[in-house]
Amino acid sequence: MLVVIKKDYEEVSREAARIVAGAVRSNSQIVLGLATGSTPLGLYKELIALHRAGDLDFSQATSFNLDEYLGLPAFHPQSFHFFMKQNFFSHVNFPSGNVHIPDGTISRNYDEYCAQYEQSIKAHGGIDLQILGIGRNGHVGFNEPTSSLASRTRLKALSRETVEDNRHSFSNDSEVPKCAITMGIGTILDSRRVLLLASGRSKAAAVAKAIEGIIDEDAAYSLTQRDYYRHVLEMTQIFTPERLS
Ligand code: GLP
Annotated active-site residue in 67, 68, 190, 216: 67
Mean pLDDT across 86-91: 98
- Cβ 36 under 6 angstroms from ligand 1: yes
Provide the mean pLDDT of the chain.
91
Mark whether 144 is an active-site residue. yes
Mean pLDDT across 103-122: 96
Task: State whether residue 33 is helix, strand or coil.
Answer: strand
- Cβ 19 under 6 angstroms from ligand 1: no
Q: What is the pLDDT of residue 235?
A: 78
- Distance, in Å, from the CA atom of 29 to the CA atom of 26, rounded to the nearest integer, reads 9
Range list of β-strands (E), the chain? 4-6, 31-34, 62-65, 67-69, 99-100, 129-132, 154-157, 179-182, 193-198, 214-216
Which of the residue ranges 83-87, 140-144, 159-163, 227-231 has the most confident prediction, judged by mean pLDDT?
83-87
- Distance, in Å, from the CA atom of 142 to the CA atom of 170, rounded to the nearest integer, reads 18
Question: What secondary structure does DSSP assign to 49-62, as a single string?
Answer: HHHHTT----TT-E
Annotated active-site residue in 57, 87, 91, 137: 137
Q: Is the per-residue pLDDT at 121 higher than 90?
A: yes
Q: Is the per-residue pLDDT at 232 higher than 90?
A: no
Q: Which of the listed residues 69, 132, 134, 143 should we mutate to test ligand 1's pocket, taking the one with most ligand atoms within 8 A of CB?
A: 134
Which of the residue ranges 165-169, 226-230, 231-235, 238-242 has the most confident prediction, judged by mean pLDDT?
165-169
Please give the span between the terminal C-alpha atoms of the chain, in angstroms, as a whole number: 14
Q: Is the per-residue pLDDT at 107 higher than 60?
A: yes
Cα of 26 vs centre of ligand 1, distance in Å, is 28
pLDDT band at 225 (very low <50, low <70, confident <90, very high): low
Per-residue pLDDT tens for 142-169?
A: 998 788 889 999 999 988 888 988 899 8
Per-residue pLDDT tens for 185-215?
A: 999 999 999 999 999 999 988 888 777 557 6
Q: Is the per-residue pLDDT at 97 higher than 90?
A: yes
Per-residue pLDDT tens for 21-72?
A: 999 999 999 999 999 999 999 999 999 999 999 999 999 999 999 999 999 9
Q: Is the per-residue pLDDT at 100 higher than 60?
A: yes
- Cβ 141 under 6 angstroms from ligand 1: yes
Structure letter (DSSP) for residue 202: G
- Distance, in Å, from the CA atom of 8 to the CA atom of 177, rounded to the nearest integer, reads 31
Closest atom, ligand 1, to C-alpha of 40:
14
Q: What is the pLDDT of residue 88?
A: 98
Q: Is the per-residue pLDDT at 171 higher than 90?
A: no
Q: Is the per-residue pLDDT at 244 higher than 60?
A: yes
